Amino acid sequence: MTDKMKNSKKAEAETAMKEADKLTTKTFFRWKCDWDSGAILYEKAANGFRVAKIYDSSKYCYQRLSLCQVQMDVYYLAAKNMEMAATMAKEAGETSESVKLLLESVKLYRTNGNSFQAADTMTKAAKMLENTDLDKCIQLLVDACELFELDDKDHFSGDTFKQTISMLIKHKKYSESIELMMLQNKVFVKLNQNHDLHKASLGIIVMHLSLDDVVGAKQKYTQFLEYPTFSHSQEGVTSSELIQAFEIQDGEAIKKISARQLFNFLDNSVAKIAKALGNNYNANSNVSTTTSTTHNTSNSNLGSNNNSNTPTVGDNYDDESNL
C-alpha cells in the first residue's frame, strides 16, 4: 500500500472514530447513546486503521465496537470483535494486553453459550504465555478443558484435552498430566467412548510408571477395573502385565512390553514415554547392577541349586497375538 493510500485510510478512519465517539458518549444534550450507529462507524474505523497498520487505534475501535454490540445484546459478534482487538494488540507487540483482551472475549463467548469458541480462545491466550508465564499458560489450558464439562459440551473437548496434555508432558508436568487425563476419562465414560477410554487409561498407567510410581499405577489400574470392558481389552491386559513387570523389576519384560505396537495408538506425547520405559528402566537398573557385581559373583555358587525353569514375565510377550 502506498503512503498516499495509507494516509487516506487513516483520515477516513479518524473521521469515523470521532463521529462514533460522539454518538456513544452521553452529554448534556444527548442523554442516550446511539449504539447501533456507533457500531457501524467503529467497524469502519477499526478496519481502516488495521489496513493502514495503525494497530493501537484499530484496537481501540474494535474494543468500542465490542462494547456497542454488548449494549445491543449481540454477544457473539462482541466476542469476535474483542478477539480482533486482541489481534491488533498482538500486532503491536503488546502480548500481555492481547492475552487480557482474549480473556475478555472468553467471557463474552460464555455469556452467549459458545463453549467451544470460549475454550479455543482460552487456548490461544495460553499459547501466547508458554514462553513467559508457564504456570498461567497451563492453568488456562486446564480451565479450557474444564469449561466443556461445566457447560455440558464434552463432545467438543477432544482437541483441547490433547493439546493441554501434550503441553504438560512437554514441560515434564507429569503429575498434572495424570490429573487431566483422569478428567478426560470422565468425558469418555459420559460419551460411551470405550476405545478412547481404554487408550487413555493405559496412558495413565504409563505416566505413573514413568515416575517409578508402581503403587500409583496399581491404584489406578484397580480403579479402571470399574470400567466394564477395560480388564479384557488389549490395553487392560497390557496395563496389568506392565505393572507386574515393574513389580518384579524385570527389565527385559518391560522392554518387550513397551515395544508393542499397541503403544503407537496412544497420543504421541504419551506414546514416546511408553516406548522409553524399557530403555529408561534398563539404564537405571544398570547402575545398581554394576555396583553389586562383586557381591553377586562371590555368592553365585550358593544360589546355583535354587535356579528354576519358571519363565519370566516377558517370555510371553513376543507374540502380539497374546494380546
Task: Extract the C-alpha cell encoding 176.
Answer: 498434572
C-alpha cell at 11: 483520515
Q: Would you state the cell numbers that stand for residue 141, as one nine-digit string?
A: 489450558
Angle separating helix axes 134-150 and 174-190, nearest 10 degrees: 10
- Ranking 114-123, 179-188, 309-318 by mean pLDDT, the lowest is 309-318
How far from each other are the two terminal CA atoms of the chain, in whole angstroms? Answer: 64
CATH number at residue 87: 1.25.40.10
Which grid coordinates are listed for 178? 495424570
Cα 92 to Cα 67, 97, 98, 268, distances in angstroms: 21, 10, 9, 35
Q: How far is CA 293 from CA 132, 287, 298, 305, in A?
A: 48, 10, 9, 20
* DSSP at 250: -
Q: Which amino acid is it at 194?
A: N
Domain final position from 100, 115, 132: 100
State pTM to two decimals: 0.74
Cα–Cα distance measured from residue 141 to residue 123, given in angstroms and rounded to the nearest whole number: 6
Residue 165, in any domain of the structure: no
- The lowest-confidence range among 125-129, 143-147, 239-243, 307-311 is 307-311
In a domain, 139, yes or no: no
Tell me what the mean pLDDT of segment 151-156 comes to. Answer: 64
Closest CA to 48 of 93, 14, 19: 14
State residue 318's pLDDT score: 41
Q: Is residue 147 part of a domain?
A: no
Classify residue 304: in a domain, yes or no. no
- Give how many domains the chain has, as a whole number: 2
Residue 169 in any domain: the answer is no
Task: Indicate whether 282 pLDDT > 80.
Answer: no
Burial class (CB in 10 A: 0-12, 13-18, 19+), 245: buried
Q: Give the domain-ending residue among 73, 100, 127.
A: 100
In a domain, 311, yes or no: no
Grid cell, residue 168, equals 504438560
Mean model confidence pLDDT for the chain:
85
Q: Do the domain assignments include residue 38?
A: yes
| pLDDT tens sequence across 183-226 | 999 989 988 999 999 999 999 999 999 999 999 999 999 999 99
| C-beta atoms surrounding 191 within 10 Å | 14
Q: Above 80 in pLDDT, residue 2? A: no
Q: Give residues with Cβ within 8 angstroms of 248, minimum separation 6.
A: 312, 313
Domain containing 61: what range?
A: 1-100
- Does 128 have pLDDT greater than 70? yes
The label of the residue with cell 461445566 reads 150
* Domain stop point among 69, 100, 131: 100
The CB density around residue 261, as the number of other CB atoms within 10 Å, is 8
170, 162 in Cβ contact below 8 A? Answer: no
Q: Are 285 and 249 in contact (CB under 8 A)?
A: yes
Q: Is residue 222 part of a domain?
A: yes
